Structure 1
Amino acid sequence: MSIDNSLKKKGGLVRARNVLKRHERITKLIEQDRWEDEQSPLGLPKVRVMRMVTKKVKKKEDPKDDDKKKKK
């Protein structure tokens, strides 16, 4: 029996997560110099998640393509 196309994973999680795992939060706190080695990993402070937004790149139009369009 095969899996329906709507249920297949196509590259894992595509959108950004808004909740970090404990080890990810600790690494963020270490980067921000807010983590001490004696500190308990339970009850961690909140860490802001920065989302990356990429803009679509516009294609540069070639003058050759314009000539081809005009001829049609």
Structure 2
Amino acid sequence: MSVDRSLRMKSSLARHRNVLSRAERVAILKSSGGWDDSRSPLGLPKVSHRKPKAGKKAKKEAAPAGETPAAAPAAAAKPAK
């Protein structure tokens, strides 16, 4: 039987969420210097929370001047018997 999503370990539930809790917004404001401990936690300003993009794949190095990229794999292939 599978485990319900709400009962899984907390580390497996760590993902991007659109809505942050009040404590999370205060923590972001503290790290950016926009929070004073004497302020009320009610009526907090909006905090941008962007989803990080996946990393791009590294570009392959350019082929030597005499070879074309399509010809290189064909030369390495074994001939048919």
Aligning the two structures, in what range does the TM-score lie when normalised by the shorter sequence?
Answer: 0.5 to 0.7
Contiguous gaps of at least 5 residues in structure 2: 61-72
TM-score for the superposition, normalised by structure 1 = 0.58
Contiguous gaps of at least 5 residues in structure 1: 61-65
The correspondence of residues 1-72 of structure 1 with structure 2, limited to 5 A, is 2-3=1-2, 11-14=12-15, 16-57=16-57, 66=73, 67-68=76-77, 70-71=78-79
Number of aligned residue pairs: 64
TM-score for the superposition, normalised by structure 2 = 0.54
- What is the percent sequence identity of the aligned residues? 36
Structure 1 residue matching 2:23: 3-state secondary structure: helix
Q: Which amino acid aligns with 1:36?
A: D
Structure 1 runs of 4+ aligned residues shifted over 3 Å read none
Tell which structure's C-alpha radius of gyration is larger. Answer: 2
Tell me which of the two structures has the higher relative contact order, counting C-alpha pairs closer than 8 angstroms and 6 or more residues apart: 1
RMSD of the alignment, in Å? 3.3
